[in-house]
Amino acid sequence: MRQTARRLAVLCSALFAVIAMTPVQAQAVESRPVPVTASDKYALKSVGAGGLYVSVEVETAGSGQAMLRARTAAATLEDLGSWEKFTLHTDDKGWSITLRSEANGNYVTTERSYTGSHQNLLRARGTTSGDWEKLQLEKQTDGTYALKAATNDGYKYVTAEVQDPGTDAGLLRARGDTVGSWQKFQLVYLGEENASDAGGRPAPASPAPAADFRVMSWNVCANHNSACGNHRVEGTALGDQITARMGTTAEAQQYRAVFLQEMCESQAKPIEARLEAKTGTGWSVRFAPIKYTVDKSSVKAARTCDNAGSTGSGWTDRGSYGIGLAVPDSNVWYHSYDLPSPQNKTIDDTWVRMEQRTAICAVLPAQALQFCTAHFSAGLPTDDADGSKRREQAAELQKIVRSYTMPGYRTVYGGDLNSIPPDSASPDTPNDLMTSAYAADTECDEGLSSARPRDGRSTKPLSGRSIKIDYLFGPPTGTVVSCDVTADAGQSDHYPVKARFRF
């Protein structure tokens, strides 16, 4: 009701607003389906405007459509609607952020071509993230933030135009050279979207029914790696690749989970549709983003995928980069977890920004099944060279599938864990990161060699050699009926791992 009244007020006031813009300045806001952005939600609270929240004026017409304005008073955070909610994204590993509006799904743009009192106005109209959408955060000594945007006259601080009259009151423009109260904003954390509720997992079926099902894990390499054929692929084409690897229709219908790493947010729904077409049953694809800690701040932003398309054909936004978990739509609970990850630091005189890794779980209570997947840090000199954080990630994943889980669930977990098995013949180190997982559970490919029981077929081809870093673990009370690792990466740089479990 509050949001409806607010929109009506804005619509009425817009009838009397006269904004002097040339035709070239009046870029239209593209209408497109609003995605469910699986990332942390924030509101912007203006200090200079007396604590009013920044709203995206979705229903304002003309060149002011979707402009940002400090205008909403809210007694509680529950009073805020989609017009006041944003997610934080970055396409440069945290050097800058881009605000994405929950109201229309667009990125906030600094209107450099506008003139007069609306020069450098902020509007949520960007359908991809580029230079005009980048904002730098600067944390102030009082805990507030200043936002800085690149303009035609250099970098300027975003200002809430408190003194402007009528419908221009509180407009956000990048025009300040210094930081005063008009340039200060509180970043109010509203929670995360990649969880179904704030409570714990629902109780599993008791007694747990027998289950015979399949699971697949595949790093699809569909984010930033230009060496992969999936570098700029869109969801439907990626979904076709995934379902093709599930075998016949009868075999595909036996799947209860597909773990995906290095996928893009916009691919989730098309993959879901391709799974439903393949199996004839309902599916749900859950997504969790990988983040970066933003420079000069204490907040994290979800990293964006490279756009689909090309310069000639145009670019299409693919949203955030992260991991996915596909399960039948009987799933009623899911939750993502931030894993302990390396922190930004200086390496060889260079400031290096580190990926903040994640895990995600979903449950099927009627079948007493839980599925969890993760993508651990890499063993690169600029990531987790000594394996210390991957050890913590492995320990945290064990907590997630055990300490955080209600008794009675049978859990299958795995993904791209960026670690070789304890008995691997590879000279790569460290090789002890998965020791606890092998001690507690059964990896689908273990036991192939009596000399190296905690090993398996390679899943990651490298130059001149290959290693195993992708896993599927199930409880020892179950049976691994089959495990398949076909040395065919397709358009990825990993082989998919497919297993059939019987409980």
What CATH number should be reported for the domain holding residue 33?
Answer: 2.80.10.50
Q: Single out the residue in 192, 227, 255 at which a domain terminates.
A: 192
**Nearest-angstrom CA–CA distance, 58 and 101:** 10
418 shares a domain with 315: yes
Residues 89-140 pLDDT 10s: 999 999 999 999 999 999 999 999 999 999 999 999 999 999 999 999 999 9
386 shares a domain with 328: yes
Q: Is residue 206 part of a domain?
A: no
Confidence band (pLDDT; 50, 70, 90) for 191? confident
Q: Single out the residue in 140, 159, 192 at which a domain terminates.
A: 192
**pLDDT over 90 at 48, yes or no:** yes
Q: What is the CATH number of the domain that holds 402?
A: 3.60.10.10
Q: State what percent of residues in the chain have pLDDT above 90.
A: 85
**Nearest-angstrom CA–CA distance, 256 and 283:** 9
3-class DSSP state of 141? coil
Q: In the chain, how many domains are there?
A: 2
Residue of 94, 110, 244, 239 lying closest to 171 (CA atoms) = 110
Confidence band (pLDDT; 50, 70, 90) for 502? very high
Q: Single out the residue in 163, 192, 221 at which a domain terminates.
A: 192
Q: Is residue 200 part of a domain?
A: no
281 shares a domain with 223: yes
**pLDDT over 80 at 184, yes or no:** yes
86: which strand partners?
42, 101
181 shares a domain with 104: yes
pLDDT of residue 30: 56
391 shares a domain with 304: yes
Q: Is the pTM of this model over 0.75?
A: yes
370 shares a domain with 480: yes
Residue of 404, 389, 400 lying closest to 357 (CA atoms) = 389
Residue of 398, 490, 481 lying closest to 437 (CA atoms) = 398
Q: Is residue 248 part of a domain?
A: yes
Residues 326-372 pLDDT 10s: 999 988 899 999 999 999 999 999 999 999 999 999 999 999 999 99
pLDDT of residue 28: 57
As given in the structure block, the two tokens for residue 401 are 């599938």
Confidence band (pLDDT; 50, 70, 90) for 29? low
294 shares a domain with 178: no
Residues 126-157 pLDDT 10s: 999 999 999 999 999 999 999 999 999 999 99
258 shares a domain with 390: yes
Buried/exposed code over 140-167 (b: 16+ C-beta within 10 A; e: otherwise) = eeeebbbbbbbbeeeebbbbbbbeeeeb
Positive or negative torsion for Cα 169, 174, 176, 181: positive
Count of other CB atoms within 10 angstroms of residue 312: 5
Residue 121 and residue 113 in contact, taking contact as beta carbons nearer than 8 Å = no
Tokens 């979800």 belong to 302
Count of other CB atoms within 10 angstroms of residue 334: 22
Q: Is residue 298 part of a domain?
A: yes
Q: Is residue 202 part of a domain?
A: no
pLDDT of residue 132: 96
403 shares a domain with 309: yes
Q: Is residue 207 part of a domain?
A: no
Q: Is residue 427 part of a domain?
A: yes
Count of other CB atoms within 10 angstroms of residue 370: 25
pLDDT of residue 341: 97
pLDDT of residue 263: 97
329 shares a domain with 244: yes
Residues 318-338 pLDDT 10s: 999 999 999 999 888 999 999
484 shares a domain with 399: yes
239 shares a domain with 165: no
Q: Is residue 325 part of a domain?
A: yes
Structural domain for 373, as ranges:
212-502
Which one has a higher pLDDT value, 199 or 436? 436
